[in-house]
Amino acid sequence: MKVALIGHGRLGKLLSKYLERDFNLIILDEKKTTSELDKIKECKIVILCVPISAMPETIKEVSPFLSKNTLVLDTCSVKEWPIEQMKALLPNDVQILGTHPMFGPDSVKDTLFGTKLVLCPERIEHERLNEIVNYFQNHGIKIVTTSASEHDKQMSSSLLLSHFIGKGLLEFGATDQEIDTKGYRRLLRILETVQNDSNTLFRDMFRYNKFAKETLQNFLNSLETARKIIEE
């Protein structure tokens, strides 16, 4: 089966490493030409592996080259907004599946076994969804199926919050200390998951998740409460 992967950044490179083992993979980066886009017509699945903010432009680029019943899926760490863009900008005769790989280049070493993948079905035949689920489960990947809204709500209190703390530690300049504690070493482990991520990803995760602003404000309020305890 021919599969197109649009976007070849850090996550795109990771996914292509595994997908090319099972599929005839066509990889298109940001410099894709019309002749390269024309190859999408032969693909049964098109994976959009681009920044959240780049979704509308990318969708408009690939839409004219999609065949009927092509399955289009994204890999964004926010789900509601990208799915809304796909529904609005993709042809009505293509299928849509929102996905969020809960892993990346810094957390995966030699295998995807044991990792987690979130699926947010939007416009996809039941049989085809089952095929996707079975494929990933056969590779040892745990599948979590949920709505886009529930995904974003939970991510605002987990992934986004951990990235915010990690970004703060980076800006603070947190490093290994000779005199430390296990708690401090655990805290530094957050850096492993955020230090190689771009500022674009950091901004997009907060900008396009409708729950992020409230969650962040609640966290900042909690920090202020903790600060006041010191002054009592």
Q: What rounded mean pLDDT belongs to the chain?
A: 96
**What is the pLDDT at residue 47?**
98
190-214 average pLDDT score? 94
Question: In whole angstroms, what is the distance from residue 183 CA to residue 7 CA?
Answer: 38
Q: Check whether 229 has a pLDDT greater than 90.
A: yes
Q: Check whether 45 has a pLDDT greater than 90.
A: yes
Question: In whole angstroms, what is the distance from residue 86 CA to residue 22 CA?
Answer: 26
Q: Check whether 193 has a pLDDT greater than 90.
A: no
**What is the pLDDT at residue 223?**
96
Question: Residues 140-185: pLDDT tens digits?
Answer: 999 999 999 999 999 999 999 999 999 999 999 999 999 999 999 9
- Every domain range in the chain assigned CATH 3.40.50.720: 2-146
Prediction pTM value = 0.94
Burial of 12 (0-12, 13-18, 19+ CB in 10 A): buried
Out of 34-38, 109-113, 119-123, least confident range = 109-113
φ, ψ for residue 120 (rounded to 5)? -125, 85
Question: In whole angstroms, what is the distance from residue 154 CA to residue 160 CA?
Answer: 9
CATH of 2-146, one of 3.40.50.720, 3.30.460.10, 3.40.30.10, 3.40.50.300: 3.40.50.720
